Structure 1
Amino acid sequence: MAERSSWIPQGPREQDLLWFQPQHRSRHIYSSHEECDRPLLVRRADTFFWEWYMEYDHHLLTALAERWRPETHSFHLSIGETTITLQDVEVLMGLRVDGLPVTGSESYPSDIDGYVERMFGCRPRRYGKTAIRLACIREHLEDNREHSQNKIDLFILRLLEDPEACGCLSWGSAMLAYTYLALCNSASSGEHYMNMCGLLVQSWAWTRILKVRPRFRRGHVAPVDVPFAAQWTRPLSRTNITSHILVAYRDQLSIMTSSRFLWTPYADLMYSLPDDCHQDEHIWMLRTYLYYYYIMDGHYPNRVMRQFGCLQVVPDAPLNENETNRLHRLKRSSHVMNWQQVHNVYVHEWHTQAKRVVEGTPTAHPEAQPPYRIWYSNKTVRFVQDPSHEPATGGYHGHTDLIECPERRVEPPNVVGEQPSGEYRDNQYH
């Protein structure tokens, strides 16, 4: 067991915002006397979302989960709060975010086998009482890209009975709600898996965080007329960047400056993408709840105004601890539930969108007000792993020499917006 040469406070200095910290995985890692370098495993097999393949970096996804805050639905980085928004889902995945919420009754037909055979012309392979394996449908559609044992609930399949109505649903917000909940679960100490759309989270990270972004190999042309995330399925080079090393990712996220984070990566590319990637721009800054049947999570663009090219000010408080815990405890039960009725009061907010779009102050360069920087330095968790903890010999040793701690005091994080330096411009999107 390695010895600690000194002690650097992890934070937060003020406990009122990050009330989940005692149960957060970052607290366990920071206080552990053992090396915590085992990544979480992503269990969702969506690497073939399109016809191209994306390899998951479980170490990167784990490092992001360690920075995710269930209290605010945002990543707490050294530069301030960042998160995956409705904008990111629509631009990266091409899923519409406007429309009716994906919620309702979990009812399913009594004759499951006959129902699936009438819908898809194949006999289902059952998974429990109310779900079937996707493999039988994929085989019937002559789609051999997915060989996993993924399942789908029958109440979701029932939405396909009316394809036109199904296409009018807000599938992008449903994906984001599911991703938020999965990140919240993964942030808990003791979790070993991540049940989420890793393709969305990893594409978001590669698009915005320059120090972890792979480069495109020469001679390969980007796919055209596809959502933005499809570019990351091209042949990539990871030379001279961090890759598949959890402790290295922790370091990068701890000492990252705003010049290494792209606040507005889509600004010059938006209208070169398919219309599906920007058709709902008018609600990207909607402060609301996101729904996917039993899941209901808050979307807080007011906490990440720099991602929309606006000045960041001290944000309003999110949901309180009791309400957040209540929503996160909602689970599916053995009884058929109509979640639209359960969430009726909140669903009403989704239908009053115009009143809930956040307004900001546009700036030439994304930046944060000085009061925000002071506020954030007192509210955030600066480190996941104690930088004064010297690891065992061999392997990656981190950047503890870059962190000064006079009198055991850590300076506030750098959260001032800056433009990317020229050395990174050659890795922009072409």
Structure 2
Amino acid sequence: MVRPQRVLPLHAIFDLPYGARWACAHNWADSSRFTLRIYRDQFDRLSESEFEWKPYPLTSLPAFCTHAFDLWATKAPLIYCSYFEAYYPGRFCRQFGAVQDIPRSVTHNDRHYATRPENNAEFITEWEQRWQTLYVFDLTRCGGFTNEYRGWFRYMGKTHINNPSQDRPTTGFVPAHPHIAIAVII
């Protein structure tokens, strides 16, 4: 929604992740406080026609961001030290420019915090078979979602993040400080 007023020059951001491109001097005296509610109100007031989903084009990302791209589609658990977390690539197809369908349910398992080797074997075996469990993205249409997903999201998703605040305008940008402006995507 918003970003700092100054960004790094384009020639200086070639190999930086998108989040790092917003780097600039920050002055806390000019920063709005308690802005979460304001941002939520702005998101809640958007109509479908006002929000355009635009995944980052893979060609615009540095090589280290796309390394082992095919591995991003594995359904194997992610492993970090003694932590194991289920990974569901079907839940974020649109981020890869694929068609989003109804995602499968997430399984919550306290064992993913396994600290003893005997609890790790199942997760390690799944990881070793990661190339056999790749999710196949539907790239026949560029992004978007299925009609089934739309219905599922309206039933299961949150159509409003928060109760809209009553003391704000009902349309348009909701400023909280003169230094906040609508973000312009690089």
Does TM, scored on the shorter chain, surpass 0.5?
yes
The whole-number CA distance in structure 1 between the counterparts of 2:45 and 2:57 is 24
**1:269 corresponds to:** 60
1:297 counterpart letter in structure 2: E
**1:352 corresponds to:** 129
Residue pair 2:99, 2:143 contacting (<8 A) in 1 also = yes
Matched, 1:371 2:128: no
Q: 1:349 to 1:325 in 2, by over 3 A?
A: closer
Name the SS for the 1:365 alignment partner.
coil
Q: 1:246 to 1:380 in 2, by over 3 A?
A: same
**1:305 corresponds to:** 93
Residue pair 1:309, 1:363 contacting (<8 A) in 2 also = no
**2:29 corresponds to:** none
Q: 1:249 to 1:243 in 2, by over 3 A?
A: farther
Q: 1:226 to 1:233 in 2, by over 3 A?
A: same
The whole-number CA distance in structure 1 between the counterparts of 2:6 and 2:75 is 35
Q: Give the superposition deviation at 1:368.
A: 0.9
Q: Give the superposition deviation at 1:292.
A: 2.0
Residue pair 2:74, 2:135 contacting (<8 A) in 1 also = yes
For structure 2, the 5+ residue unaligned runs are 27-31, 172-181
Residue pair 1:310, 1:361 contacting (<8 A) in 2 also = yes
Bigger radius of gyration:
1
2:67 counterpart letter in structure 1: Q
Alignment of 1:59-98 (within 5 A): none
2:184 counterpart letter in structure 1: N
Name the SS for the 2:58 alignment partner.
coil
2:2 counterpart letter in structure 1: V
The whole-number CA distance in structure 2 between the counterparts of 1:315 and 1:269 is 27
The whole-number CA distance in structure 1 between the counterparts of 2:57 and 2:118 is 37
The whole-number CA distance in structure 1 between the counterparts of 2:66 and 2:74 is 15
Matched, 1:326 2:110: yes
Matched, 1:427 2:175: no
Q: Give the superposition deviation at 1:262.
A: 4.2
Name the SS for the 2:105 alignment partner.
coil
Q: Give the superposition deviation at 1:357.
A: 1.5
Q: 1:255 to 1:359 in 2, by over 3 A?
A: farther
Residue pair 2:78, 2:85 contacting (<8 A) in 1 also = yes
TM-score normalised to the size of structure 1?
A: 0.34
Alignment of 1:378-389 (within 5 A): 378-387=155-164
2:131 counterpart letter in structure 1: A
Q: Give the superposition deviation at 1:269.
A: 0.6
Deviations 1:171-226 (A, max 9, x none): xxxxxxxxxxxxxxxxxxxxxxxxxxxxxxxxxxxxxxxx2344544857424444
The whole-number CA distance in structure 1 between the counterparts of 2:139 and 2:163 is 37
Q: Give the superposition deviation at 1:261.
A: 5.0
Residue pair 1:220, 1:235 contacting (<8 A) in 2 also = no
1:356 counterpart letter in structure 2: T
Q: Give the superposition deviation at 1:372.
A: 1.0
Q: 1:358 to 1:233 in 2, by over 3 A?
A: same
The whole-number CA distance in structure 1 between the counterparts of 2:134 and 2:87 is 11
Q: 1:384 to 1:219 in 2, by over 3 A?
A: closer
1:367 counterpart letter in structure 2: G
The whole-number CA distance in structure 2 between the counterparts of 1:214 and 1:262 is 22
- Taking every aligned residue pair, what percent have the same amino acid on both sides? 21
**2:39 corresponds to:** 249
**1:233 corresponds to:** 23
**1:118 corresponds to:** none
For structure 1, the 5+ residue unaligned runs are 1-210, 237-241, 332-336, 391-396, 403-423
Q: Give the one of 288, 303, 313 matched to 2:76.
A: 288
> Which structure shows the higher strand fraction?
1
TM-score normalised to the size of structure 2?
A: 0.71
> How large is the RMSD of aligned CA atoms in angstroms?
3.4
2:58 counterpart letter in structure 1: A
Residue pair 2:7, 2:23 contacting (<8 A) in 1 also = no
The whole-number CA distance in structure 1 between the counterparts of 2:8 and 2:124 is 48
